Structure 1
Amino acid sequence: MELRQLKYFLTIAKLKSITKAAEALHISQPALSKMMKGLEEELGMTLLIRSNKTNELTDAGNIVSEYAQKIFSELENMTTTLDDLTNLKRGEVHIGLPPIIGSLFFPNIMADFHKLYPNIKINVTEYGAAKVVRSVEDGELDLGVAVLPIDGTMFHIYPIVEEKMKLLVHHEHRLANATKVHLKELKDEELIFYHESFALHDIMWKNFIKLGFEPKILFKSSQWDLMSEMVAANLGITILPESICNRVTNERIRIIDLVPVTPWNLAVITKKDKYLSYAGRTFVEFISEHSLSKFQYNLKL
């Protein structure tokens, strides 16, 4: 059975005449009659009552007409839905965000994106940056925000933020008045550190190991505000990205530059061999083209 047969059959049913239908369809009457005969033989039922004046539908013909209309209605819906996707009237994106990163930049980004594309649904999953990378690799997520560097052979990488890590100490700490502090000076300090699921954990751990010592970790947390408040309570020191430091307002905390400079660079990643929907591609382009400096500036206000 072909869609063309059903289309022609519906024309006959509407006009109640093979002759008139042939004229409307711009085909010969014998060709149309042969096509309808073939449809009847395939279904094993008579669909048309043939007479010299009109062609009425049999009971079977009425059923075929009803279902054929549903088929073409669904095809039209499919075409409309696909058109909606390509014109971004609808869609869905699954994105992975590390909690710290999500709270810093993405509320404003998603608000602006939603204004432009109100019918695109953004599903956000909060994972540590390391798990975000694994989840994009496994296909669980369409895209994610990761801390660089990552393997460029497997992912498309779209850089979005370039910052530095900074040291936070209590205002009575021995380093509170320093303008710069070398990481090796933190050998005997008690650190408020990140959970293992965070990319920052491995980045900073490796930096300390390169200097010949393991950091003394007092507490581990996934919440930057808790980490900074622990510093304010003089429970230890911590190292956080620049944007987070710009949000710290507690007067008992001093924020100091680190030597050597430890970059904190973020990027949107997608898997190279995975299909990305129109909505997903548009979201990536929106983030890449968006001036994140605007959001970073807002964090300082």
Structure 2
Amino acid sequence: MEWQQLEHFATIAKVQHFTRAAEALMMSQPALSRSIAKLEAELGVPLLDRDGRTVRLNRYGAQFALRVERVLAEIEAGKAELHQALDPEGGTVSLSFLKSLGLTAVPDILSAYTALWPRITFQLFQDSTRMMLDRLEQGEVDMVISSMTETRKGIEWAELWEEHLFAYLPHSHPLAQQEEVQASELAQAPFIAMKQGYGLRTITDQLFGQLQTTPRIVFEGEEVMTALGLVAAGLGVSLLPDIRNPYGDQVVKRPIDGSGCVRQIGIAWRRDGWLPPAASRFRAFVLERYGRGERCATFNRSD
């Protein structure tokens, strides 16, 4: 059974005349007759009562016509949805990003973009870097904005900006009295870390790995604001980006020994994956406004 046969039958059911139906379909009347006959043979039941070129639906045809009308309506709705999705000025962009970037960075990007293209809509997801790349590989999202701590075959990255990382300390902690903090000193205090799979955790592990030391982790979480709250409660120290501090002088932020402790934020997409026009335009906007002009599918960094 072919879609065209259903369209032919629906037109016959509507006009109930072979010649007029053939004209509406811009085909010959014999070709239309053959199409309907083939459909009836496949179904094993006549659908029409014929009187010359005039026809009417029999009870089987009337029953089948209801289903065909619904099927064709669904096809048209699907075509309309695809047309909307392919509209570069009014489609949908599916974007996954780090939770910490949801505080200011991503909202600022989306605000700037929707000011230019107000009909664009976004599907937004937040997760660990590892989970985001899983979604990207599986085609569940168009692109990812995350720390560049993991590379995979078929995923291309472009660096956007760097963020300095800081030591966050309870105000009563001895290290809070210093202008700078040594990374090795952080390892000696109760440490509040992100879970495995998050970019911040990868950077933290790399930092302490270079020092050949292991921090005393007392909490592993997913939210930087939760980590900050635990620091404010005096439960430990943490390594976090420059974020708004709602805890006032309960939390002290200090640079880390001038060593340039940073994380690279980048945008990732499937190298050979197809991007809808709206997503392609958004990626171009992000790269032009925020990009550092550096693209890499692989880079020298251990996971």
For normalisation by structure 1, the TM-score amounts to: 0.69
Q: Which residue of 2 aligns with 1:44?
A: 44
What is the alpha-carbon distance in structure 1 between the residues aligned to residue 235 and residue 271 of structure 2? 44
The code of the aligned residue for 2:102 comes to G
Identity across aligned pairs (percent)?
24
Q: Residue in 2 aligned with 1:253?
A: 252
Which residue pairs with 2:159 in the alignment?
A: 159
Q: CA deviation at 1:263?
A: 1.8
In structure 2, C-alpha distance between the alignment counterparts of 1:77 and 1:132, rounded to whole Å: 31
Match of 1:122 in 2: 123
Deviation at 1:164, TM superposition (A): 1.8
Does 202-211 or 245-254 show the bigger shift?
245-254
Following superposition, the deviation at residue 162 of structure 1 comes to 0.8
Distance 1:32 1:265, change over 3 A: closer
Q: CA separation in 2, counterparts of 1:79 and 1:192?
A: 54
- In 1: Cα distance, 2:251 partner to 2:24 partner: 85
Residues 149 and 202, structure 2, Cα contact 8 Å, conserved in 1: no
User: Once the two structures are superposed, what CA deviation does each residue of 1:179-217 show, in whole Å capped at 9, x if it has no partner?
Assistant: x55545x27842533134243334233323323443455
8 Å CA contact 1:148, 1:264 repeated in 2: yes
In structure 2, distance between residues paired with 1:277 and 1:162:
28
Match of 1:195 in 2: 194
> Any idea what SS the aligned residue of 1:250 has?
helix
Question: Please, which moves more after superposition, 217-226 or 61-70?
Answer: 217-226
The residue aligned with 1:147 is: 147
Comparing 54-63 with 244-253, greater Cα deviation is found at: 244-253
Hey, what's the Cα distance between the residues in 2 that align with 1:188 and 1:60? 79
Letter in 2 for 1:68: V
8 Å Cα contact 2:149-2:199 kept in structure 1: no
Q: Hey, what's the Cα distance between the residues in 1 that align with 2:49 and 2:5?
A: 17
- The answer to whether the 8 A contact 1:166-1:245 is kept is no
What corresponds to 2:243 in structure 1?
244
Give the secondary structure class of the aligned counterpart of 2:159: strand
What letter corresponds to residue 122 of structure 1 in structure 2?
A: Q
Greater radius of gyration (CA): 1
Structure 1 unaligned segments of length 5 or more: list them. 293-301
Partner of 1:268: 267
Change (3 A) 1:31 1:260: closer
Tell me the CA shift for residue 79 of structure 1.
Answer: 1.0
Offset from partner CA, 1:154-186 (integer Å, 9 cap, x none): 4222333312223445488467454x55545x2
State the one-letter code of the partner of 1:269.
Answer: A
Partner SS for 2:260 = coil
Residue equivalent to 1:296: none
- Amino acid corresponding to residue 54 of structure 2 in structure 1: T
Q: Is the 8 A contact 1:155 1:272 kept in 2?
A: yes
Equivalent residues of 1:245, 1:255 under 8 A apart: no
Tell me the amino acid that sits aligned with residue 123 of structure 2: I
- Give the C-alpha shift of residue 253 in structure 1: 2.7
Hey, what's the Cα distance between the residues in 2 that align with 1:176 and 1:221?
27
Shift of 1:73: 2.0
Whether contact under 8 Å (1:192, 1:221) holds in the other structure is no
Secondary structure of the residue aligned to 2:103 is: helix
- Cα deviation for residue 85 of structure 1 reads 1.4
Using structure 2 for the length normalisation, give the TM-score. 0.69
